[in-house]
Amino acid sequence: MNLKQPLLLLLLILLSTLGFTQTSKRDQVMSKLIIDNYTLAKNQYLYMMKQVPKDSLPQSYDKTTNKLISKDITWWCTGFYPGSLLYIFEQTHDETIKAEALRALKVIESNQTFTENHDLGFMMYCSYGNAYRLFKDEKYKQIIFRSAESLATRYRPKMKSIQSWNKNQYFNCPVIVDNMMNLEMLNWVSQHGGDPKYQAIAETHTNTTIQNHYRSDFSSFHVVDYDQETGKVLKKATHQGAANTSAWSRGQAWGLYGFIVMYRDTKNIKYLNFAKNIAKFILHHPNMPEDKVPYWDFDAGLQPLAKRDASAAAITASALMELGQFTTGKEKNEFINSGVKMMESLSSDAYLAKVGENGGFLIKHCVGALPLNSEIDVPLVYADYYLLEALKRYKDWYLNK
């Protein structure tokens, strides 16, 4: 008998057992984290909803005045509050949470015909998409269809992109990397009986984003400005980052998440490979902190004293949970374990609020737009949404599997 064979078999068994043990420990940690976070979320949002105005929705909290900050219904973030409530209801079955979610949906219903920006996906799919998933109400489906129609009005054929902001003092016809997040709604409508043109627009926009937004190291500019009549690129900028050449952390998260969605919806391997390269840029960046909660910009000065952006970690964690579904071996383990580390950090006392604190929001220490002196070191509604989504994804896809 060849003695090497049983030794090799024993080694494989030991490695397999070690992997199983590590996964089991991870599941134990995550099982508690999911329960604790959703319990906290229910209590926080029951507290928050008592302060929410009838005609606007929560965005942030001002700790100096102890006031909840709410925004008009056409603000790009208004879908995250009902979306978060629906995630909480799904996990806790709390009927008060459900009732508030349904009320908030009614508040933003008219956004289905809003055409003044590109964020209909955030506004209407994070909200009504989750509502239709849970309740299968045909009215919700039709609202999503109408929202996709409104979003598609911003497609500019000569640019082969969906215009983001309207013309302003800085840009002629800007397209921002965040726009990758709004393509999921277009795909969904095409795949659920709607016009195939919506997914075609999403794919064309994605290909243009690859061509014009990304650098050779797979970091992204924030904004590409176009001449709408010719499709020519006028300039590239990072409006909310440290410099035009820098890697604004939330922008990197938006891009990662968006390319994973595009792979899921099209099975175009080009999008999966692109997403993996973005993930590796983020995770292997020399300025990524040990707790994996990024600075507001990977190239921000004054590290390690620079502000963190917990929202970037929440978005990235959720994206990595899905990327783990489409990868294998060492890549899969790296992506899942990194996402878990982000969720653990966000669930620590350093970032997670206690009941009655933080205006009712879960996560502290987010940054909206530091160069514009806007929303610095505050809670932001979308950070909560993507943490709740990341936790749900781990539970659905990995826990005890």
Tokens at 290, concatenated: 């040990």
Q: Is 178 known to be catalytic?
A: yes
Q: Give yes or no: 377 in active site.
A: no
Catalytic hit among 119, 225, 265, 297: 119
Q: Which residues of 267-285 are buried (b: 16+ CB within 10 A; e: fewer)?
A: eeeebbebbbebbebbbeb
CA R_g for the chain: 21
Angle separating helix axes 329-346 and 269-283, nearest 10 degrees = 50
Q: Which of 72, 94, 178, 349 is catalytic?
A: 178
Instruction: Please name the residues in contact with 346: beta carbons below 8 A apart, sequence gap of 6 or more.
Output: 293, 310, 313, 314, 317, 352, 363, 387
**Positions marked catalytic:** 119, 178
